[in-house]
Amino acid sequence: MRHDWILEVLEDLRSYALTNGLPATAAKAEEALRVARVEIAAAEGEPPAGGAGPGNGRRH
């Protein structure tokens, strides 16, 4: 995946924020990670990692 770097940066930001007592910043970094994963999956035509999204890939 060519977008791995942005996920790593966001994970580093989240980790830094948690370590340094910035819980709101950590929460926003986590939110940004979720959004990035969904957008990247959509751009690559894949279901989002972790089963997020409509129907979680399950058939009814």
Helix (H, G, I), strand (E, B) or coil at 40: helix
Confidence at residue 50, expressed as pLDDT on a 0 to 100 scale: 61
**pLDDT tens across the length of the chain (60 residues):** 688 999 999 999 999 999 999 999 999 999 999 999 999 999 988 775 665 544 444 343
Residues 6+ apart with CB under 8 A from 16: 22
